[in-house]
């Protein structure tokens, strides 16, 4: 699974932090293994650099093999909280997506002709 981290021009993340984010995300989603091709994380500062307060959004998009992308977002006061929330929500959404597919396959297999 590849993890790509994208930021807007208001957030500056160096390569070391980006590598740690990618590693933590891959570890959190490891249960889905080869079923996920790529994960894109988009971090944006919703306050636009104004001093009105910190408002960071993390939009996480997973690309499962053979399925439509699964997208979630989480808003928080700081990057870490936004990232943790988005990755947790993405894991939940992926679990739901894969369990629904398994349920459909099971129903088809047990259906009488």
Can you give the CATH number for the domain in which 32 is found? 3.30.160.100
How far apart are the C-alpha atoms of 78 and 62, rounded to whole Å?
Answer: 22
One-character DSSP codes across 55-103: -EEEEEEEEETTS--EEEEEEESSHHHHHHHHHHHHHHHHHHHHHHHHH
Residue with tokens 């995300």: 25
> Number of structural domains, the chain?
1
pLDDT in tens, 27-82: 999 999 889 999 999 999 887 766 666 689 999 999 999 899 999 999 998 889 99
Range of the domain at 80: 2-110
Residues with Cβ within 8 Å of residue 51, at least 6 apart in sequence = none
Task: Give the per-residue pLDDT at 100.
Answer: 78
How far apart are the C-alpha atoms of 50 and 52, rounded to whole Å?
Answer: 5
């Amino acid at each position: 699974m590849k993890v790509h981290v994208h930021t807007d021009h208001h957030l500056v993340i160096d390569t070391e932090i980006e590598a740690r984010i990618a590693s933590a995300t891959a570890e959190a989603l490891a249960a889905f293994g080869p079923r996920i091709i790529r994960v894109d994380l988009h971090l944006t500062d919703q306050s636009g650099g104004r001093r009105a307060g910190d408002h960071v959004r993390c939009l996480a998009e997973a690309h499962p093999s053979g399925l439509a992308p699964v997208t979630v977002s989480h808003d928080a006061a700081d990057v870490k909280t936004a990232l943790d929330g988005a990755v947790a929500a993405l894991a939940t959404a992926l679990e739901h997506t894969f369990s629904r597919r398994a349920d459909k396959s099971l129903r088809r297999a047990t259906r009488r002709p």
